Structure 1
Amino acid sequence: MSEKLLVVFYSSTGSNTQLARWSKEAGEAFGAEVRIRQAQELAPDVAIDSNPLWRKNVEESKDIPVATSDDLLWADAIVFSSPSRFGVMASQMKQFMDLQGGLWAQGKLANKFVTAMSSAQNPNGGQEQVIQGIYTVMQHWGAVIVPAGYVNVSTFAAGGNPYGTSATIDGEGTMQNAANVKAAASDQVTRLLTITKAYLAGK
């Protein structure tokens, strides 16, 4: 039986869309059944239209369904990816998590295997805080957190964040060091699924 991997992301200008797509590719390469979903957009069109990169990403990702509680129930393992918003996760991602109180109360989010990724416009733009914030929610859920750690060389090449892959995006929307970030994201997902697979086999 294949592991079920859910990739949930929020992205405005596209960096976390890319991290999510790389995560999906890595999951499929591992042999997992993968769903990729995005958090519901909350910003008005006037805000989206004020940034051409934001509108471009909305159009290019419109084929990706919005994440639901049913997706969480389905998953064995989950990747969350959110940009930094003043050092915390985007409100769109936070709302998705906040809406899961019913599942949490029933204990249906416990023992999911989870890892997280993030991005910002500079190397110290709050990515670690975002990932730690996601992990704080996961601890309340009773999920099993699987950080990137320092177990793959790719982590160092991508910037050395042991909590999860983090990307730096310039003012033009270009991801810096993209090849190394992709490798780190792939290794992180592989680590997540390797541990999930071992757990499910033992269970």
Structure 2
Amino acid sequence: MTPKIAIVYYSTYGTNHQMAQVAAEAAEAAGAEVRLRRIRETAPKEVVEGQDAWKHQLESMQDIPEVTVEDMEWADGYFFSAPTRYGTVASQMRAFIDTLGPLWMKGGLADKTFTATTSAQNPHGGQETTLQGLYITAAHWGAVSVPPGYTNQVLFEAGGNPYGYSATAGQFDDKGRAAVRHQSERLVEMTRRIVAGRAEQRQAA
């Protein structure tokens, strides 16, 4: 079975963009059909253009499509990545999540797999609460959470967060890349098992 994975990210300065790219490459290498999608920027234009690094990052992502509700309906599993803001996920990500009500009401988010990564300015900047908040949202969808836990030694070497890899902004290193690859591969494998199980049920019926 070929699981369909949506890699959905928001990035202000580039860290989560890099993490999403690594996740997408790993998912494709693991045999998934992948859509890499970015969250639409909702900050005022004058605010974005007032910071050169923010403006440059937004310009550098113009070739990546913005995520749509259709992408969420298409996917069998989700890999979300966005920075921490005051102990929760960036408002741009929350704004997109808040558009998913109609899809949620018809069950279009249920039984999909879900994992998440994040970043913050410092090692104790709210990463765990951000990831837990995203998993709580996934629980409301009826999604199947797939945190990395401690399923690979690299997770200890890359910070030891069992909820999902978390980077210090601007410091996405080789150990972090290995952790994201593992998390993405794990998502693909768990999604493949669920998709295969559904197919067997349909055949048995």
Q: Give the 4+ runs in structure 1 shifted more than 3 A.
A: none
Match for 1:5: what amino acid? I
Alignment of 1:1-203 (within 5 A): 1-169=1-169, 174-176=170-172, 178-203=173-198
Distance 1:198 1:89 in 2: 29
In 1, Cα distance between equivalents of 2:32 and 2:130: 26
Please give the secondary structure, in 2, of the residue aligned with 1:92.
helix
1:50 Cα shift?
A: 2.2
Q: How many percent identity over aligned positions? A: 47
- Aligned-residue offset at 1:49: 1.8
TM value normalised by structure 1: 0.95
Matches of 2:197 and 2:104 in 1, distance apart? 24
CA distance in 1, matches of 2:155, 2:23: 15
Task: Name the SS for the 2:116 alignment partner.
Answer: strand
CA distance in 1, matches of 2:37, 2:197: 29
Amino acid paired to 2:132: Q
The offset of 1:25, in angstroms, is 0.6
Q: Secondary structure at the match of 1:23?
A: helix
- Show CA shifts across 1:120-141 (max 9, x none): 0100111111111111111100
Query: 1: distance between equivalents of 2:174 and 2:50?
Result: 29
CA contact under 8 A between 1:82 and 1:130: conserved in structure 2? no
How far, CA to CA, are the matches of 1:99 and 1:195 in structure 2?
27
> Gaps spanning 5+ residues in structure 1: where?
none
Q: For residues 37-68 of structure 1, what are the alpha-carbon distances to aligned partners after superposition, in whole Å with 9 as ceiling and x for unaligned?
A: 11111011221122221111111111111111
- 1:34 corresponds to which letter in structure 2? V
**CA distance in structure 2 between the aligned counterparts of 1:158 and 1:48, rounded to whole angstroms:** 31
RMSD, matched Cα: 0.9
Aligned residues: 198
Q: Deviations over 1:166-196 (max 9, x none)?
A: 0002xxxx315x1111000000011111111
For 2:179, the aligned partner's letter is A
- The alpha carbon displacement at 1:107 in A equals 1.0
Q: Structure 2 CA distance, aligned partners of 1:159 and 1:121? A: 14
